[in-house]
A and B are shown apart, each in its own frame.
Chain A
Amino acid sequence: MINFIIKRLLLTIPTIFGVIFIVMLTIELVPGDPVELMLGEHATKEAVEDVRAALGLDKPLLTRYLMYLKNLTKGDMGRSIRENRLVSKEISDVWPATLKLTMAAMIIAILVGVTSGIFSAIKPNSYFDGTNRIISLFGLSMPVFWVGLVMIVVFAYWLRLLPIGGTGSFKHIVLPAVTLSLPSIAMISRMTRSSLLEVLKEDYVRTARAKGVSEKVVILKHALKNALIPIVTMSGLQLGQLMGGAILTETVFAWPGLGRLMVRAIFARDYILLQGTVLVFALAFVLINLIVDISYSFLDPRVSYK
């Protein structure tokens, strides 16, 4: 098990080197110059050259790539081009906010998604199941941006229950977390329903019922545990999605997270800052996948890593 984890962690290194190279190449190929954009319409030619030289942007792509990797091995992510700030500092400023929002949305998604999925599976094609299906379809197909604005109008403007955005108290996280969780609730709910229905057809469920085990125990202990693997896989994928999808939610609700930092970096062609943020996202994805894989062996004793 430990060997498996170490091997997986070591594999992330080439992944990350590749990710950085792709980011760098993309920024290089996209028209638009970071220094010209930074100094704006009003910069002179000399000023642009001056800054470009000071930032080392006049060097070829490969040199810059190797330089970046070299510094990275020393734990130095460089300084952002526009803000001239340590990238590690920029990220540590906003990372907790993203983590908080993603986790809150994930908890809501799992609680609501799994519960509604179970109820749908217990009585398939009932009124509840039908309603759940319609709500899920709605949650999946409505753009986050629009749902967010509707939430603001209803809960912040009409009802005056919650703030329109920003951070500070528990109240501030409610709207963004709920908005962000909607598509995931739908996915997890549908997955739980179908996976559980599948399991409920198994012989051992019939056996359990035949020997007189209560329905509650049958569902929660016998069936659900065996239905969990696809649900966990789906949740892991959703967690990654939530982090990426948070960009729009962060914008609508003025949530100071990593997504907005990344978008700013893209528009500024600030490849150093962008690499830093992509690096964090990539690492998070790798870690989530690893955790999901490890959890399989706990859920199903037949799965083992040697």
Chain B
Amino acid sequence: MTLAERVKAVHARARVRRWEYRQRNLAHGAWGRFRAALTHACEVYAIDDATAAALLAEGFAADDRGQGLEPPRTLVWITAERAAYLVDARPLAIRLDAELLAARCLALVPFP
């Protein structure tokens, strides 16, 4: 690849980046928003719908950054103390692997 071709490739990627930036709040930006939420979690648990509903009823905060995926993911921020009392919750490695993506509801514990 010549320098001129490399420059064209860099420009093309920059145009794609601009296009992606404009979609950051639209459907195309869903993955970026989901990643942004996970960035602030030091622990993540897979929970069921009933547990998610119970946590929300207890006053823990919902995070809509999982709603752009299909099916939508319910994200709930909880405390480390509350996480210790979760029933039937599976701790997950914090990466976009099959196990995390299979979970419809996630309880997230923020970094202290």
Are the chains A and B members of one assembly? no
